[in-house]
């Protein structure tokens, strides 16, 4: 064996509803695409047609041996108009959840993953003072439907990426550039997460489940911020400030209720612990010389130009465990790479899982992003992250070599010499 998986480490994959389901036009990203804002002019209304092909996809997950699966529900399907809940959509997700559970796949259910129903978007979405109340109406309905069979939840995915892209940098809908908007959204998402955390535990407890039988947290996008020159004091200060503004402040607010600029405090938010595991979405390192995002020149990069820096995941997991408690398990709720030809992804998976298995940090779950190629936001269909290839014209699914390697790692509890020689040895990164 080239390496053996860390004892107790579960491997699976992650997806988001809007990125794979297709067919829904009632959300802000479908409208954004219709306005011609996607780089390759595609739309999430096509995506991977998973809403119709979910059984085929889950069968494939089971065949590949995946033990865990992080999935999302589409808010705009479930609540197409405010206060109007669609029984058909709720039943659809119930059937999907029951089926994957019957095949031995444990779901981690995400309630909000970037997209909003048009009615919520048009009233100001997370900038709106009512947004925590509005989200809770949706979340309570969803959790009430599934809490008897689903014990693990992500309340909100990457609040930092959502708010910064949508309301500060203005690259995502509604393309706003406002520090005030950013601060309001951060505050409201923090309030929503905390209320949702408490609500899920209350509903599960009412059914007789213990606190330990329910796991709730949020998934934050974390990066390593490194100064371009460690000898340059301005670079070092910029790296620390970038880290604080991008992730540290919102992480502390969501996990503990301690709100500091740029997170606006919302009335009713109390300090406490609002996480049962530490959720980390990790992709890259930023090399900074100012308040911008840079890439180290001599580094390996993926097809979107992001640096491949495996050590960052271990650095961040150790840092958060030290800060928020080593008694809490770490779930890598997303990790993967854009590799359109699957030319280096097998090596990426090998290197990342080997590093995870060699650390003494309490990493218990690894959700590879993504199970299948999907609609990758502004990049559309042009950026491929999946271990399963999607032919968007025919919707044919084909397991990539990276998927075959991943399946082999699960079944063998690590990387065998044969798997290494077949899938990893011939692959290398590009600069």
Residue 191 in domain: yes
Q: What is the pLDDT of residues 36-72, one digit of tens each?
A: 999 999 999 999 999 999 999 999 999 999 999 999 9
**Mean pLDDT in the chain?**
96
Q: How far apart are CA 248 and CA 299, in angstroms?
A: 25
pLDDT at 17 over 70: yes
pLDDT at 76 over 80: yes
Average pLDDT on 235-256 reads 95
**Amino acid 290: pLDDT:** 77
Listed residue (158, 152, 111) closest to 135, CA to CA: 111
Enumerate residues 6+ apart whose C-beta is below 8 A from 263: 183, 186, 187, 190, 249, 250, 253
Residue 431 in domain: no
Pair 367, 332: CB distance under 8 Å:
yes
**Amino acid 112: pLDDT:** 98
What is the percent of the chain with per-residue pLDDT over 70, rounded to a whole number?
100
Quote the number of domains for the chain.
1
Q: How far apart are CA 294 and CA 238, in angstroms?
A: 12
CATH number reported for the structural domain that contains residue 214 in this entry: 3.20.20.80
Q: How many CA atoms lie within 13 A of 171 on its CB side?
A: 9
Residue 352 in domain: yes
Q: How far apart are CA 385 and CA 342, in angstroms?
A: 9
Q: Which helix (H) or strand (E) holds 11?
A: strand 10-14
Domain that holds residue 338: 3-424
Residue 36 in domain: yes
**Amino acid 431: pLDDT:** 60
Q: What is the pLDDT of residues 365-404, one digit of tens each?
A: 999 999 999 999 999 999 999 999 999 999 999 999 999 9
Average pLDDT on 292-302 reads 87
Query: How large is the angle between the packed helices 345-358 and 401-412, nearest 10 degrees?
Result: 30
Single pTM value for the model: 0.97
Residue 102's Cβ-count burial label (10 Å; 0-12, 13-18, 19+) is: exposed
Residue 430 in domain: no
Pair 194, 135: CB distance under 8 Å:
no
Residue 139 in domain: yes
Average pLDDT on 238-258 reads 96
């Amino acid at each position: 064996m080239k390496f053996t998986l860390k004892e107790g480490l579960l491997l699976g994959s992650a997806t988001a509803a809007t990125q794979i389901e297709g067919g829904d036009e009632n959300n802000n990203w479908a409208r954004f695409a219709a306005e011609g804002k996607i780089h390759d002019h595609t739309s999430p209304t096509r995506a991977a047609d998973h809403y119709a092909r979910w059984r085929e996809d889950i069968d494939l997950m089971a065949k590949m041996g995946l033990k865990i699966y992080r999935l999302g529900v589409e808010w705009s399907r479930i609540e197409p108009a405010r206060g109007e809940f669609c029984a058909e959509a709720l039943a659809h997700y119930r059937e999907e959840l029951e089926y994957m559970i019957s095949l031995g796949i444990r779901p981690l259910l995400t309630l909000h993953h970037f997209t909003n129903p048009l009615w919520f978007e048009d009233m100001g979405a997370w900038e709106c003072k009512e947004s925590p109340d509005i989200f809770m109406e949706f979340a309570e309905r969803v959790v009430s439907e599934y809490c008897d069979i689903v014990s693990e939840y992500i309340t909100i995915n990457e609040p930092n990426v959502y708010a910064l892209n949508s309301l500060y940098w203005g690259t995502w809908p509604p393309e706003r550039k406002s520090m005030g908007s950013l601060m309001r959204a951060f505050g409201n998402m923090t309030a929503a997460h905390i209320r949702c955390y408490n609500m899920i535990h209350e509903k599960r407890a009412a059914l007789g489940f213990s606190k330990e039988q329910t796991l709730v947290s949020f998934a934050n996008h974390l990066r390593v911020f490194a100064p371009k020159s460690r000898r340059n004091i301005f670079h070092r200060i910029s790296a620390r400030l970038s880290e604080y503004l991008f992730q540290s402040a919102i992480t502390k607010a969501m996990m503990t209720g301690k709100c500091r600029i740029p997170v606006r405090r919302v009335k009713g938010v109390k300090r406490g612990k609002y996480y049962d595991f530490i959720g980390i979405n990790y992709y890259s390192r930023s090399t900074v010389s100012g308040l911008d995002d840079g890439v180290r020149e001599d580094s390996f990069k993926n097809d979107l130009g992001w640096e491949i820096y495996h050590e960052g995941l271990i650095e961040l997991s150790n840092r958060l465990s030290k800060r928020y408690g080593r008694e809490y398990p770490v779930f890598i709720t997303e990790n993967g790479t854009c590799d359109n030809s699957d030319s280096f992804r097998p090596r990426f998976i090998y290197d990342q899982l080997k590093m995870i298995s060699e650390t003494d940090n309490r990493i218990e779950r690894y959700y590879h992003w993504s199970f299948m190629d999907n609609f990758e936001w502004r990049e559309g269909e042009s950026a491929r992250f999946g271990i399963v290839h999607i032919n968007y014209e025919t919707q044919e699914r084909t397991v990539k070599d990276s998927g075959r390697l991943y399946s082999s790692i699960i079944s063998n509890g690590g990387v065998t010499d044969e798997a290494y020689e077949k899938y990893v040895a011939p692959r290398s990164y590009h600069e």
